[in-house]
A and B are shown apart, each in its own frame.
Chain A
């Protein structure tokens, strides 16, 4: 059973470990402190990964992660409000995904000039399992209206809570709650046959 809230052996919620102050990490990283940037990376990697997953396939999200954080490292000085670094990174992730999708056709054209066996992803000869796969669920999430995708990937994939999503993206709890609830309702309807116990 997956649990979002760390708990003691008796089931009581454990006190969450204090999070570093993102603004302080940004200010330190601006001064060239790579260790602080590394901490920023680990703090916001789930957010960036979830935002990317809402728009592109998992292997593409993994590739784009580096692009986003490399760009963030180079442009930290342009961040006017260090406490909004989460929303700033989310913007960069959305743009990276949009650029990647726009150039997808060009990459597809280029791949036609290569041996198709090299371009094709390996096919698993075993019969498809009866259970849902991550790719299937993510494809279903990406088919939903845009406002719901991020909230769902951040909650269901990256295991961020609603309050954490709101804090990272600078949204109100009410807005995130609506997107989670309505998005989940649409996702249930989309996957109804597969997820019916």
Chain B
């Protein structure tokens, strides 16, 4: 008996690990056209070749053939056609009635409710207690859970996707034209969203992440603490949902991170490459921050370290401190921020010191533009 062949490097469907052996020939051809051609894939490519987009084929809109004849000649109502149309209208009205009737109080999740599609990337993620073998819908109210060996990809309606990492638990709360909201109880998700701002929202135990058009990774620990890292775009973390107070909002731009405390909520965003002295002092400042701009000896000492260690790349951190310190300390923050990222002409010092919103926002836009 011939010995069994050695296992192929990387089972089909598993993520390709950098530095690993190339995928088996057939899968490699499907993946990037290299390796030995897969006969079935080739046959399908040849069959589908006529459907491929080609430059020039869609440059001129084709008029629908149904409106090429004069209306007087084209309109030939016949008895069977009239009956078919009437039946269609009746069915349409019935469908409209069914769609618009008020939901019953016992209907929380129905098979007709909108859903997102979840795909298993590895292992056996679950929707509630059901294992996702390949793909399955997730509806509002349902939990998606991954264990230590499973990962999943979640299509966020038609605006993007979320990758759910191992040991994560999240729930779809709502999905609609104006808002898509999920709850991340624990674990890590990476979101890629291409939509107008404030449509995709993620609730954590201590913060609400509001997508402003971006790619980010959000991690929540079992105790409710968390970390947000933004790759592109901007995410707004709200300490209190709906609050517009600058002290309650942490804006995390691309390249920045923000820690979330389980009891106090989002901290102050910072550069992940900031000096250790700055990040540890900032963490202490955030721990002591009550949101009321009070100043204790410990918080003043922490602020001193932050201001001394701040670099030009820490302008985002310094800008957030403007609203988190009292007026006495704010002058020192303005001085440090001015050295890192000079204020624009429409953000005079006097107005920034009293937290005049247009001046403060103008300085924020200037800081973002310089990143």
A binding-site residues for B, Cβ under 8 Å: 1-5, 13, 42, 45-46, 49-50, 53, 58-59, 62-63, 65-66, 78, 80-81, 83-84, 87-88, 90-91, 94-95, 98, 105, 108-116, 118-119, 131-134, 136-138, 145-148, 155-159, 161-163, 170-175, 177-182, 184-188, 195, 197
13 contacts between A and B (CB under 8 A): A4-B33, A5-B32, A49-B53, A58-B51, A81-B232, A134-B47, A137-B44, A138-B48, A157-B52, A170-B161, A177-B16, A178-B121, A188-B40
A114 near B66 (CB under 8 angstroms)? yes
Report the nearest B residue to A85, measured CB to CB: B194
- Separation of A13 and B35 alpha carbons in the complex (Å): 12
Count the B residues whose beta carbon is within 8 Å of the partner chain — how many? 76
Known: A2-B42, A84-B233, A113-B74. 16 other contacts (CB 8 A): A5-B34, A65-B58, A80-B212, A95-B158, A109-B85, A114-B67, A118-B68, A119-B65, A133-B47, A134-B47, A148-B135, A161-B31, A171-B153, A174-B14, A175-B119, A179-B119
Q: For chain B residues 4-43, which have a beta carbon within 8 Å of chain A?
A: 12-16, 27, 30-34, 37, 39-43
Q: Which residues of B contact A115 (CB under 8 A)?
A: 69, 73-74, 76
Q: Which residues of A contact B135 (CB under 8 A)?
A: 145-148
Q: For the complex formed, measure the closest distance between the CB of B12 and the CB atoms of chain A, giving whole angstroms.
A: 4
The 8 A CB mask of B57-74 against A (1 = contact, 0 = none) is: 110011001111100011
B30 near A184 (CB under 8 angstroms)? yes
Q: For the complex formed, measure the closest distance between the CB of B345 and the CB atoms of chain A, giving whole angstroms.
A: 24
Q: Which residues of B contact A58 (CB under 8 A)?
A: 51
Q: Which residues of B contact A62 (CB under 8 A)?
A: 57-58, 62
- Separation of A155 and B32 alpha carbons in the complex (Å): 9
Interface check B55, CB cutoff 8 A: yes
Chain A, interface SS category: helix
A147 near B215 (CB under 8 angstroms)? no
Q: Which 3 residue pairs of A and B lie closest in terms of their CB atoms, listed nearest first?
A: A4-B33, A174-B15, A80-B213
- Separation of A105 and B155 alpha carbons in the complex (Å): 27
Q: Which residues of B contact A182 (CB under 8 A)?
A: 12-13, 119, 134
- Separation of A146 and B48 alpha carbons in the complex (Å): 19
Q: Which residues of A contact B212 (CB under 8 A)?
A: 80
Interface check B291, CB cutoff 8 A: no
A145 near B31 (CB under 8 angstroms)? no
Partner of B159, one of A3, A13, A91, A188: A91
Q: Which residues of B contact A181 (CB under 8 A)?
A: 12-13, 27, 30
B binding-site residues for A, Cβ under 8 Å: 12-16, 27, 30-34, 37, 39-53, 55, 57-58, 61-62, 65-69, 73-77, 81, 84-85, 88-89, 92, 117, 119-122, 134-135, 151, 153, 155, 158-161, 163, 190, 192, 194-197, 212-215, 232-234
Q: Which residues of A contact B45 (CB under 8 A)?
A: 2, 156, 159
Q: Which residues of A contact B47 (CB under 8 A)?
A: 131-134, 136-137
Q: Which residues of B contact A147 (CB under 8 A)?
A: 117, 119, 135, 153, 155
- Separation of A56 and B151 alpha carbons in the complex (Å): 30
B163 near A175 (CB under 8 angstroms)? yes
B74 near A91 (CB under 8 angstroms)? no
Q: Which residues of B contact A91 (CB under 8 A)?
A: 158-160, 194-195
- Separation of A111 and B69 alpha carbons in the complex (Å): 12
- Separation of A147 and B159 alpha carbons in the complex (Å): 13
Q: Across the A-B interface, how many residue pairs have beta carbons closer than 8 Å? A: 212
Q: Which residues of A contact B232 (CB under 8 A)?
A: 81, 83-84
Q: Which residues of A contact B51 (CB under 8 A)?
A: 53, 58, 134, 138, 157
Count chain A CB atoms within 10 A of each CB in B49, B88, B135 and give the residue with the most. B135
- Separation of A49 and B119 alpha carbons in the complex (Å): 23
Q: Which residues of B contact A46 (CB under 8 A)?
A: 52-53
B32 near A163 (CB under 8 angstroms)? yes
A134 near B49 (CB under 8 angstroms)? yes
Count chain B CB atoms within 10 A of each CB in A81, A90, A119 and give the residue with the most. A81
**Contacts A80-B213, A84-B232; is A145 near B117 (CB within 8 Å)?**
yes
A197 near B39 (CB under 8 angstroms)? yes
Report the nearest B residue to A67, measured CB to CB: B61
Report the nearest B residue to A163, measured CB to CB: B32
Q: Which residues of A contact B57 (CB under 8 A)?
A: 62
A81 near B153 (CB under 8 angstroms)? no
**Contacts A159-B52, A177-B31, A181-B27; is A84 near B40 (CB within 8 Å)?**
no
Partner of A162, one of B12, B32, B61, B155: B32
Q: For the complex formed, measure the closest distance between the CB of A184 and the CB atoms of chain B, giving whole angstroms.
A: 6
Report the nearest A residue to B27, measured CB to CB: A181
Q: For the complex formed, measure the closest distance between the CB of B64 and the CB atoms of chain A, giving whole angstroms.
A: 8
Q: Which residues of B contact A138 (CB under 8 A)?
A: 48, 51
Q: For the complex formed, measure the closest distance between the CB of A5 and the CB atoms of chain B, giving whole angstroms.
A: 5
Q: Which residues of A contact B61 (CB under 8 A)?
A: 63, 66
Report the nearest A residue to B28, measured CB to CB: A162
A87 near B40 (CB under 8 angstroms)? no
